[in-house]
Chain A
Amino acid sequence: MSRTVADTEEVIRTAGLTKIFPGGVQAVDHLDLSLRNGEIFGLLGPNGAGKTTTVGMLTSMVIPTEGNAVVGGVDVTVHPALAKQAIGVVPQTNTLDRSLTVAENLYFHGRFFGMSARDAKAEAHRLLEKFWLADRASAEVLALSGGMAQRLMVARAVMHRPAILFLDEPTAGLDPQSRIALWEILKELHGEGQTILLTTHYMEEADQLCDRVAIMDHGRILALDTPGALKRGVGADTIVTVSAEGGLDELARLLEARVPGATRATRVDSTVQLGVSGSQGVLPAVISAAEQGGFTVTDLSLAEPTLETVFINLTGKELRD
């Protein structure tokens, strides 16, 4: 991707951003984040990692306990109303206005953001075409399928041409087809230069869509880089998942020591995940190492490292728990 001067400009910068909810739950813990203009940035982490709270603070809905966030050049905590001009939000739940039709949802959103009646109407029309919703313009929003409702929420969020578009778990609960359709839309918006921050607990989504991914757990960023660099950082080109009977922690130590090219073995639930560089002859090596140690291997599979592997290496647990 060619970078112009504007591409290196920061659209979001947070410093020590922290949220402790009443009752003492620390949802976000001293977050330092910087988003460049035009990138798709992913916050990847399991439920409860603090992703939604982070988006809440960046969009003025959650008041930080500490630290600050500058979005589109405006300090969100100090000037929330001004900052809201620069942001578009697709929340986790369907928040479409049920009293209005599909087209009216876009029209009034445009009016809230100062568009003239004429511009709002024209832009609503254009977006409905673009998001394959034109034939539903005068439908009630309750009549939309999950995928359509989600597309309409994205259309609404970009209606006022925000500097940054936030999507909180945009494809959670969507069927695979709608998910792919939404990915296409996000790629198209990205191609037009839209800066996007999305949260997800689907590693494929972060991998496929994002220029950079921050892996988050317990309110902290554990790693931040391009998906490719994160995966390379694992240090293995193959991940062997081993199911076996017996003490798996012992098996993990054994495999790490005896399998040629082994980088790291981690026990994950009832399996051992072994990173290996150079997959030539790895399966026989794993089986013989296990058998020599007195283990019976019941299942074995090979895969390339994914962001899930990165997450497991960082936390010792799976993303989807």
Chain B
Amino acid sequence: MATATSTTTTEDATGALTTARRSTVTASGTAFRALLLRDFTVLRKTLNEFLPRTILQPFLLVFVFTYVFPKIGQGVGGGGGPAAQSAFATLLVAGVVGITILFQGIQSVALPMVQEFGYTKEIEDRVLAPLPVSLVALAKVTSGAIQGLIAALLVFPIAAVVPANDVHLSFNWPVVLTLVPLACVASSALGLTFGTRFEPRTVPMMFGVIIIPITFLGCVYYSWTALGPIKVWGFSWLKWLVLVNPLVYMSEGFRGAFTTANHMSLAVVYLALAGFAALFLYLGINGFKKRVLS
């Protein structure tokens, strides 16, 4: 679709009001950047919404589980003395960063898109920009992924500083620098997939039936390797069941990237997240095209 076709002959024919026709490649590149610029202008204007919606949930998670519980001596994260509390806080840091990135995909891509397709049709002007429709969708994924990155950067210090006991961080930089962006793209593409498939009416269901299970069964508060003992007839069913959840690979991968905690094999993490990213991009871009073209 994105063929570079020069139309120097027709631009004269259509009169003086026509701007000189540019090749589709040039025009698409410019339009793509302008679409990102639009999204970040909106982000800058709505920082007062972006900051609380990004920070509050992870802050409360960390605050309750790793500050309040240890202080009052309650079970989760509080039992087993300072060493165990510290290990739990370390475990949670990675999960909290994962959940933050995943939510950003929903909040910055899926929800606005549901609204734009559902009521306002605002997206139409961007769809009419001189680039292939699939690139309009890809621009949305890119801006969502960058917002996820910003969110992760904001939340990381909170997750590392708020806990009552030490968090043991140990950065594996090559993994950090590749896995975090990959998780951001996968989450943003997931947002695109949801955004093109849910209607305003069904958004509560999206949260209740999909997002909540993803977060609770996403190895945020526990490590995947620890799920082995949950068995029926000798089979660790939960450990295998949660593998359909992309958040599991983010939480586990980040454990390998930032901490010394036990984690799933990084090769599996990369493979699974790349697979999810590709799947969601495919579903999301196709869904987007189906919604705007008829």
Contacts and interface: CB of A to CB of B under 8 A. Distances in A.
The secondary structure that dominates the A interface is loop
A288 B123 CA distance: 62
Given A81-B28, A95-B125, A6 B13 contact: yes
A132 interface: no
Interface string A16-53: 00000100000000000000011000000000000000
A85 interface: yes
Contact of B130 (A73, A93, A113, A194): A113
Interface in A88-106: 89, 91, 93-100, 104
Nearest to B31: A112
Contacts of A54: none
A211 to B, nearest CB: 15
Interface in B126-151: 126-133
A89 B30 CA distance: 20
Contact of B15 (A56, A61, A63, A163): A163
Interface in A172-209: 192-195
B15 A85 contact: no
Contacts of A85: 19, 21-22, 27, 130
A95 B121 contact: yes
A115 to B, nearest CB: 9
Interface stretch (A154-162, A230-238, A264-272, A294-302): A154-162
Contacts of A227: none
B27 A79 contact: no
A56 B26 CA distance: 25
Nearest to A116: B30
B11 interface: yes
A9 B14 contact: yes
Interface in A47-93: 56, 59-63, 72-74, 79-82, 84-87, 89, 91, 93
Contacts of B41: 100, 104, 108
Contacts of A98: 120, 122
A80 B19 contact: no
Given A95-B121, A95-B125, A108-B41, A161 B34 contact: no
Nearest to A104: B41
Contacts, number: 148
Interface residues of B, number: 48
B71 interface: no
A84 B46 contact: no
A11 interface: yes
A114 interface: yes
A81 B131 contact: yes
A94 B126 CA distance: 14
Contacts of B120: 94-95, 98
A160 B19 contact: yes
Contacts of A317: none
A14 B9 CA distance: 19
Given A37-B15, A81-B132, 17 more contacts: A6-B15, A72-B21, A73-B10, A79-B1, A80-B1, A82-B5, A85-B19, A97-B38, A100-B38, A111-B37, A112-B38, A112-B129, A114-B26, A114-B27, A160-B19, A161-B19, A193-B15
B24 A81 contact: yes
Which of A63, A73, A81, A97 has the most chain B CB within a 10 Å cutoff? A81
Contacts of B209: none
A97 B124 CA distance: 9
A157 to B, nearest CB: 9
A109 interface: yes
Contacts of A95: 120-125
B72 interface: no
23 contacts: A59-B128, A61-B128, A62-B294, A63-B293, A72-B18, A79-B3, A79-B5, A81-B130, A81-B132, A82-B21, A84-B129, A85-B19, A85-B21, A89-B128, A99-B46, A108-B38, A114-B19, A114-B130, A161-B17, A161-B19, A193-B16, A193-B17, A194-B17
Given A81-B28, A81-B130, A113-B130, A9 B42 contact: no
A114 B22 contact: yes
- 5 shortest interchain CB distances as A-B pairs: A73-B10, A112-B129, A163-B14, A111-B34, A95-B124
A108 to B, nearest CB: 5
Contacts of B241: none
Contacts of B42: 99-100
B151 to A, nearest CB: 19
B35 interface: yes
Nearest to B17: A161
B39 to A, nearest CB: 9
B7 interface: yes
A72 B14 contact: yes
A61 B128 CA distance: 8
A112 B34 CA distance: 5
Given A62-B294, A82-B5, A100-B42, A162 B128 contact: no
B129 A113 contact: yes
